[in-house]
Amino acid sequence: MDEALPRALTPTVIGVLVRRGADFATAEDAVQDALLEAVRTWPHDPPRDPQGWLVTVAWRRFLDATRADTSRRQREIRVESEPAPGPGQTVDDTLQLYFLCAHPSLTPTSAVALTLRALGGLTTRQIAHAYLVPEATMAQRISRAKRTLSGVRFHQPGDAATVLRVLYLVFNEGYSGDVDLASEAIRLTRQLAAGIDHEEVAGLLALMLLHHARRPARTGPDGGIIPLAEQDRGLWDTRMITEGVDVLQRALTRDRLGQFQAQAAIAALHADAPTAEETDWTQIVEWYDELVRLTDNPVARLNRAVAVGEADGPRVGLAALAELDPSLPRHTAAAAYLHERDGDPVTAARLYAEAARSAPNLAERDHLTRQAARLNTRLRG
């Protein structure tokens, strides 16, 4: 059985049920039940119309759940007449469901977790691993989010700003999870850009394209992280970079700068440099200044400190870093890098090892451990 097929059909099937009158939470539960039934029966009895099969089974599960709930007798009257069976509709409701998952009553974290579970095909365990929390904690978070959305219809979605944030976070999660969501996030952001003429939507699309263009060079054959400065730029997707720069330039001409445009401008400067040594760090610092002004985000301040270290020297970067909260994620790794550039391998090796112990994922931990080992080998030699 091709496990990717039912996962790809999930958003459409949920959308069909919601349009027929199901609330999102109940529809998602019904579709999950249908997917379990598909796993059980499709290997020896594959349907001719997989989408129609899922819609039919999920709709029956929804009716069963509705009939069992005596407090919803009025809804039962509305949904009792089952539509005639037939081929499923080929309507892509995925983006509309993103709007629903990004309802303003949910926190951004809950919205992303629910989106990954309901629309991304990730298990609760996979999402919990991505957020570094126990599976039970994530299960409770997703359940609360679904209860919050109970009764919310398509005419009560979240706003575009929240959807942009969710798409951005899903894109980032797409690189680290077992299921690749980065391409899907780009597809949906393209769809959003086609329907909403807004410079920040364009900015997010440009940012995704510019980051995704570097993906082939981001990891080695063993899966280890390759830092930006060491990547083979010949592996970068130049067509995607060109598209991202074009999209960004059109957005910037409107002179209504937002955080995604600023981040995309930084990514564009990295992509434009023929070599790491030719990177225009002075301009990158200026764009980080704009990003900090727009967001006052501590992560942006951390990245700015590293950029300052590249533009003005590692000691200036370390001074900027010293002004930030040392408990900030990746603060220790940034300090290790700047100390190494400042010619202090002893301190750098110690900080790399310390940063590895608190790394947010296995790939990053392995990379930092190798950095510490590299410096310690050099010191012993």
pLDDT digits (tens, 9 = 90+) for 20-44: 888 888 888 899 999 999 989 999 8
- pLDDT greater than 70 at residue 130: no
What does the pLDDT read at residue 205?
Answer: 97
Looking at residues 167-185, what average pLDDT do you find? 71
More confident residue, 80 or 193: 193
Q: How far is Cα 175 from Cα 183, in angstroms, rounded to an integer?
A: 10
Looking at residues 358-365, what average pLDDT do you find? 86
The answer to whether 332 touches 355, Cβ cutoff 8 Å, is yes
How many other CB atoms sit within 10 Å of the CB of residue 347?
Answer: 15
Q: What is the DSSP letter of 313?
A: -
Pinpoint the alpha helices (H) of the chain.
4-20, 24-41, 50-68, 73-79, 94-101, 108-118, 124-131, 135-148, 160-176, 182-195, 199-212, 238-252, 259-272, 281-295, 298-312, 314-322, 331-341, 345-357, 362-380
Q: How far is Cα 124 from Cα 172, in angstroms, rounded to an integer?
A: 17
Q: Phi/psi of residue 17, each to 5°?
A: -65, -40
The answer to whether 265 touches 210, Cβ cutoff 8 Å, is no
How many other CB atoms sit within 10 Å of the CB of residue 253?
Answer: 9
What does the pLDDT read at residue 155?
Answer: 57
Q: How far is Cα 276 from Cα 205, in angstroms, rounded to an integer?
A: 24
What does the pLDDT read at residue 207?
Answer: 97
Considering the entire predicted model, what is its pTM?
0.74
Share of the chain above pLDDT 70, in %: 87
What does the pLDDT read at residue 79?
Answer: 46
Name the 3-class secondary structure at 328. Answer: coil
Choose among 237, 262, 267: nearest CA to 251.
262
153 pLDDT band, cuts 50/70/90, is: low
Q: How far is Cα 236 from Cα 210, in angstroms, rounded to an integer?
A: 9
Dihedral angle sign, alpha carbons of residues 232, 358, 122, 105: negative
Burial label for 221, CB within 10 Å (0-12, 13-18, 19+), is exposed
- Which positions ≥6 away from 51 have C-beta within 8 Å? 9, 12, 13, 87, 88, 90
- pLDDT greater than 50 at residue 70: no
158 pLDDT band, cuts 50/70/90, is: low
Per-residue pLDDT tens over the stretch 83-99: 445 444 445 667 777 77
Place of tokens 């958003």: 11
